[in-house]
Amino acid sequence: MKLLPLALTAALALPAASALAQQAQVPAIEAGHTLLTLTADGKSVRTPDLAVFSAGVTNEGETASAALAANSRDMNAVVASLKKAGIAARDIQTSNLSLNPVYAQPKRLPDGSYEQVPQKIVGYQVSNTVTVRQRKLGEYGKVLDTLVASGANQISGPNFQIDSPDEAVDQARAEAMAKARKRAELYAKAAGLRVARIVSISEGGGYSPPQPVMYRMAMKADAAPAPPPVEAGELELGASVTVLFELAP
């Protein structure tokens, strides 16, 4: 009972402390002036110059060592074919290597149920995948053909990107800032005020270019169908800024 007044006092003090903290974060402006906060977005459009995709091989064997040996043989052939097709070693990176047991499937009984037996390992499955950066987009189809011919049975992608996006993002930032300034002038004029100065500028969240839809192909090593048509299109890169303006009479 003696602790109740202290707890109640502390609880009542929290909103006051929070309010003081919020007041401390408000930038100082001259008396009689108005603080205007605006958020604006900018964008720039570029043609992709980089396609990122993954390629790999999945093998099965009666033993873990047999599955791994087969996978290593086939994956070495895949990596060699990528390099022969003109992909630099720095643009090939292992992204997944897994070894998993394969269990026997339970038999279905006449009544529709399945027999209850302990799980039994009947083999092993090994998957190895590399992430590839294709810099010559015009040769993407050629690389796919080479991969299939070399034994790759798992390919996914592409994810189109800009190799050096800084210039494009800077253009988006400049556009966002120009929009914020123009909007501030509009508000100031409508309110019978003028823009005195910029109090602060902050960039929100960086940029996030839209990602193309991914597709997956599962192919047999002995069958090499014509690669699907792939169009790079365009990428839209964006930037967002929040600007605090001080408006004066």
Span 187-240, pLDDT tens digits: 999 999 999 999 999 998 554 444 443 333 444 444 445 555 677 888 889 999
For residue 227, the model assigns a pLDDT of 54
Residue 221 burial by Cβ neighbours in a 10 Å radius (0-12, 13-18, 19+): middle
- Assigned CATH for 27-48+165-220+232-249: 3.30.110.170
Instruction: Write out the DSSP string of 24-42.
Output: HHSPP--TT-EEEEEEEEE
Q: pLDDT tens-digit profile of 145-198?
A: 889 999 999 999 889 999 999 999 999 999 999 999 999 999 999 999 999 999
Please report, for the chain, the start and end positions of each structural domain, with discontinuous segments joined by +.
27-48+165-220+232-249, 50-103+120-161
Least confident of 36-50, 52-66, 107-121, 193-207: 107-121
Task: Give the pLDDT confidence score for residue 7 in this predicted structure.
Answer: 42
Secondary element (H or E) of residue 134: strand 121-134
Nearest CA-CA partner of 137 in 44, 224, 230: 230
**pLDDT (0 to 100) of residue 154:** 93
Q: Tell me which of 31 and 72 has the higher pLDDT.
A: 72
Using the predicted structure, report yes or no on whether residue 62 has a pLDDT greater than 90: yes
Question: Which residue would you say has higher pLDDT here, 114 or 71?
Answer: 71
The DSSP annotation for 152-174 comes to: --EEEEEEEE-SS-HHHHHHHHH
pLDDT single digits (tens) 238-247: 999 999 999 9
Average pLDDT over residues 8-15: 45
- Round the average pLDDT of the chain to a whole number and report it: 83
pLDDT range class, residue 15, cuts 50, 70, 90: low
Tokens at 235, concatenated: 């990428």
pLDDT at 29 over 80: yes
Measured in residues, the chain has a length of 249
Q: What is the pLDDT of residue 209?
A: 46
Contact present, 172 and 238 (Cβ < 8 Å): yes
Q: For domain 50-103+120-161, say whether CATH 3.30.70.2970 is its number.
A: yes
| Token digits of residue 50 | 């980089």
Question: Residue 37 pLDDT more than 50?
Answer: yes
The rounded distance, in Å, linking the Cα atoms of 108 and 129 is 35
Is a pLDDT exceeding 80 seen at residue 133?
A: yes
* Per-residue model confidence (pLDDT) at position 120: 87
State the pLDDT at residue 201: 94
The angle subtended at Cα 47 by Cα 46 and Cα 52, nearest 5°, is 115
pLDDT band of residue 86 (cuts 50, 70, 90) is very high
pLDDT of residue 142: 86
pLDDT at 78 over 50: yes
